[in-house]
Structure 1
Amino acid sequence: MKRKSHLLVSMIALLGLAGIVNGCSSKEAANGTEEKVILVGTQNDYPPFAFADEKNELTGYDIEVVKEIDKKLDGYTFEFVATPWDSMFLALESNKIHAIADQVAKTPERQKKYLFTDESYFAAETVIVVKEGRTDIATLEDLEGKKVGALAGDSYTLLLEEHNKKADKDIILKYSESGNPSEILQDVQNGRVDAYVNDPIMISSVMEKFDLDLEVVGQPLVNDDMGIVFKNEKQGEELKAIIDPILNQLKEDGTLAKLSKKWTGGEYIPD
């Protein structure tokens, strides 16, 4: 079995690596063979899926899924690049990273522009979170005229932007300058915004970490399947072709379910 993937907790200034092969750099493995290096973009502040631990090393569900893929894929080494969400797709398009593993929902708009693995590795919900005790918000319609925290370009914000296109009264979107979901949840706590829309597992993790008095309200707005993302070109097609069968294997042998339970407390694996 091949060695573990390397971990790079750095911003996107990495492609000075030598020996470019089909757009990927290469390095010598322990056995003397050359391996293509696949740079995987992910956030460092999205627990429990992708975040920096107390040693400033990336960890979480998405990270471990990629590491499991790396173990089974000879000839390649996967390295992680901590990337802000608002720079993620730009980094992919400019070849600073070769893939994204960051709880990216397979929306129709994204699938027109990028390649996704056919196999989804996580099934996520979209919910509304408000300050504990608030009773005037439970649905998207209840958010109209209210201030809602947002990250530009994520699927949760796209849902709100689409709602505004047909609503009589807009949801007032307050886009985060930091690109940090944890800070938006703290803004809900201190009243800077009325609500936030995101994944309940991440919300619960941040609430516990920062001791926030928040609560999820109403029913889930959307259910999404998450996939690994590649640039829509030859290299992306090649990576998709070799990773999809491994994701299927990890699903069939129970590895994804085990990792999901470890990091989220439940088995949120698509059928």
Structure 2
Amino acid sequence: MRKSLFLGLTILTGLVMSPLAHAKEKEVVVATAGDIRPFSFERKRQLTGYDINVLKAADKLIDDYRFTYKKTSWESIFVGLDSGHYQVAANNLSYTKERADKYLYSKPIATNPLVLVSPNNAKVNQLNDIGGLTTQDDTGTSTAKLVSDWNSKHKDNPSTIDYSGEDVSKRLFDLENGEFNYLIFDKISVETIIKQKSLDLHVTEIKTKDNPNNYIIFADDQEELQKSFNEALEKLQESGKLEKLSKTYLGEDYLTHDNTHR
């Protein structure tokens, strides 16, 4: 009887304390477009991918926060960070000075150089070949800025950017069909999609001084969360969990030994 009473009190105490413990955790909303394999995409209506699962693994090591995930358009990710609707962005994000002036960067979670993609029957082999050609991109991306910066130095024969709003899978399909001339995107996503879709495209790595790393980005008032995430990221790397996630979602070890925010 005494044992039953003790067991009942234990269960009751657990039921009472569990919501209180849960309430101490601060909810963090992670924004992602969810359309960029293998970093963030939907499987059976659930968000998954390398970026998402790195965050989920880190969440297990961080006591004070509870992460939830929100699929939204690319254009609204940073608007949501500015307005406070989102606290974190995860979308195969690269480093730019403009973003670093407004937001907080994690330590790098992977290295992922840019590549130049073109149809095999009309190859574009280097950045200096894009003059007079057309590409597709989104507004506010590092790749669109790369082309815009190139155009500013080649005003006599600039490249045209069509801001299509399509996801990268559709763009690669349209590129193969000749709807535009070239695409600049990250190596891992391009190679993953070309393999999955059996696309006939030419891929060459771009030689630039730009930072090739990927990051998680935080709103500018999330210093404590940034610090907690970076500490968790170090533990994941030391334990081998981060390398395992990279091999699972990216196909091989794409971790960087650059431990800075740039």
Deviation by residue 1:226-256 (Cα, 9 ceiling, x = unmatched): 22111212xx112112111111111222221
| Paired position in structure 1 for 2:215 | 227
| Alignment of 1:45 onto 2:35 | yes
| Paired position in structure 2 for 1:72 | 61
Residues of 2 paired with 1:116 and 1:75: CA distance?
A: 19
Paired residue for 1:90, among 66, 79, 82? 79
| Paired position in structure 2 for 1:116 | 105
Aligned 1:1-271 pairs, distance under 5 A: 31-32=18-19, 33=21, 34=23, 35-53=25-43, 55-117=44-106, 119-135=107-123, 137-168=124-155, 169-178=157-166, 180-217=167-204, 219-221=206-208, 222-233=210-221, 236-271=222-257
Deviation by residue 1:247-270 (Cα, 9 ceiling, x = unmatched): 111122222111111111211111
Aligned pair count reads 238
The answer for unaligned runs of 5 or more in structure 2 is 1-14, 258-262
Query: Taking every aligned residue pair, what percent have the same amino acid on both sides?
Result: 32
| Paired position in structure 2 for 1:20 | none
Q: Which has the higher strand share?
A: 1
Q: How far off is 1:145 after superposition?
A: 0.7
Secondary structure in 2 aligned to 1:72? coil
Higher relative contact order (CA 8 A, sep 6+): 2
The answer for unaligned runs of 5 or more in structure 1 is 1-27
Deviation by residue 1:174-219 (Cα, 9 ceiling, x = unmatched): 11134x1112112201111101000121112222333322120354
- Asked whether the 8 Å contact 1:40–1:100 carries over to 2, the reply is yes
TM-score by length of 2: 0.85
The one-letter code matched in structure 1 to 2:225 is: L
Residues of 1 paired with 2:191 and 2:16: CA distance?
A: 40
TM-score by length of 1: 0.82
Residues of 2 paired with 1:45 and 1:204: CA distance?
A: 15
